[in-house]
Amino acid sequence: MILLGIETSCDETAAALLVDGTVRSNIIYSQIAKHAPYGGVVPEIASRDHVKKLPGIMEEALHEANCAFDQLDAIAVTYGPGLASSLLIGYSAARALSQRLNIPLTGVHHHEGHIYSVFLGENPPVLDGAFPMMVLLVSGGDTKLVYMKAPGRYEIIGQTIDDAAGEALDKGALLLGLGYPGGPVIQRTAEGGNPRAVRFPRGLDNVGGEWKYDFDRKLCFSFSGVKTALLYHVQNHPETLHDETAKRDLIASYQEAVADALAVRVERALEQYACASFACAGGVSLNKVLREKLGRLSEKCGVPLKLSSPKLCTDNAAMIAGAAYIKWAAGHPFVTPEDVNPNLKLANWDNT
Ligand code: KG4
């Protein structure tokens, strides 16, 4: 099965080629430099750039994998969630190409891509023995705990009630004048800093107060408090920003709070749900401190941890083709979506 993956849900234009589930090429063009002056993604700029770059990126993906368009068996494209105008570019290109080549097109939920990225690489994906699996999905727009009894069975057991973890890092970095995106620059500038210098809140620590969500409070996340605490700290101690050591300690403490808030919830989830493995996926899963914390947790509780290789953590098309392949290999035929859906919900394979 030679599968072309296409991903344009936000600010990465990506195409990848998978042969029988093995990643043969994974080309990613990041628009970060175009959005950086605005401190976040500008949808209009994103979609225009996808239009310009996607044809060349697809050709590069095929070229690197030594494959011609007429050798493709199928195409997989992200059709949600994401920015409507960005999703439409990838979807339209994929649809046109599938009609031109007369091959099937299948739609993939962006989060499914992230989830199954932990099984992808130079060898065909092996899912046996990994389920039930707990997944911490952490990206710029999402922070969720997903319990998966089996492949294609999703139960969201906790999620953020405000900002996503990546958003907290991005906004924190902007506040400190470090630039965009925040995750990588925070990780870099925190290097060598004291993560215990400033005690930041870990979100939802206080037991009191009204709770209006359907999820267990202990498995939910909140990152608006840590962001506000950072703002107040900077307002009350403006000198911190002019002292390199104090600034590094502050950034390390902020990163520690975000990573700790995530790891603590994963630990609670693993206590409540019997799992054969747990995984962390999405852009924030690249974070070194978070990876170390989850690694220690894996040793402590004896549950194997699955992480994607760095090039599969942030948005990419190999994960989109990978999710499509895994679902197809499990016996679910390709289904062409009618349209993109910016608010697409994760659905169990049995219901789709
Ligand atoms: O999954 P992703 O590429 O895009 C979304 O679908 O949102 O995630 C992007 C997020 C951004 O918030 C970025 O700051 C964060 O991933 N990120 C990191 C690191 N690299 C990227 N966060 C922490 N540490 C990193 N090294």
Q: How far apart are CA 35 and CA 41, in angstroms?
A: 5
Which atom of ligand 1 lies at the shortest distance from residue 12's CA?
A: 3
Closest atom of ligand 1 to CA, residue 314: 3
Domain extent at residue 19: 2-121+312-351
| Ligand 1 closest atom vs CA 82 | 6
* Residue 126 lies inside a defined structural domain of this protein: no
CATH number, position 18? 3.30.420.40
pLDDT band at 239 (very low <50, low <70, confident <90, very high): very high
Query: Which protein residues are within 6 Å of ligand 1, measured from CB?
Result: 10, 139-141, 166, 169-170, 181-184, 187, 282-284, 286-287, 314-315
Is residue 351 pLDDT above 70, yes or no? no
- Quick one: 85 and 154 in the same domain? no
**Helices 182-190, 288-301: crossing angle, 10 deg rounding:** 80
Ligand 1 atom closest to Cα of 141? 7
Q: How crowded is residue 218: how many other Cβ atoms within 10 Å of its Cβ?
A: 14
Q: Is residue 210 pLDDT above 90, yes or no? A: no
127 domain residue, yes or no: no
Residue 232 sits in the same domain as residue 322:
no
* 188 assigned to some structural domain: yes
Tokens of 279: 């995984």
> Are 257 and 291 part of one and the same domain?
yes
Q: Is residue 212 domain-shared with residue 290, that is, in the same domain?
A: yes
Q: Tell whether 39 and 85 lie within a shared domain.
A: yes
User: Against a cut of 0.85, is the pTM above it?
Assistant: yes
Burial 219-252 (b: 16+ CB within 10 A, else e): bbbbbbbbbebbeebbeeeeebeeeeebbbbbbb
Return d(Cα 72, Cα 7) in angstroms, integer.
Answer: 17
pLDDT tens digits, 119-144? 999 999 999 999 999 999 998 889 99
Query: pLDDT per residue over 319-330, tens digit each?
Result: 999 999 999 999
Whether residues 284 and 193 share a domain: the answer is yes
Q: Tokens 């999710």 map to which residue?
A: 323
Q: Is residue 352 predicted with pLDDT exceeding 60?
A: no
d(C-alpha 174, C-alpha 99), whole Å: 44
- Asked if the structure places residue 283 within a domain, the reply is yes
Torsion of CA 121, 122, 124, 127, to 10 degrees: -40
Is 208 in the same domain as 342? no
Do both 215 and 151 map to the same domain?
A: yes
Strands 74-80 and 12-19: unpaired
Distance 83 CA to ligand 1 centre (A): 16
Number of domains in the chain: 2
Per-residue pLDDT tens for 277-298? 999 999 999 999 999 999 999 9
Which pLDDT does position 140 carry in this prediction? Answer: 84
pLDDT tens digits for range 137-183? 998 889 999 999 999 999 999 999 999 999 999 999 999 999 888 99
139 neighbors 9 (Cβ within 8 angstroms): no
Question: What per-residue confidence (pLDDT) applies to 205?
Answer: 72
Are residues 182 and 227 located together in one domain of the fold? yes
In this prediction, residues 328-349 reach a mean pLDDT of 96
Between the CA of 351 and the centroid of ligand 1 the distance, in Å, is 30
State whether 138 and 176 are in the same domain: yes
Is there a cis peptide before residue 201, judged by omega within 30 degrees of 0? no
Distance CA 154, CA 160 (A): 17
| Distant-in-sequence, close-in-space partners of 70: CB < 8 Å, separation ≥ 6 | 101
Q: Mind listing the pLDDT tens digit for each residue in 188-200?
A: 999 999 999 999 9
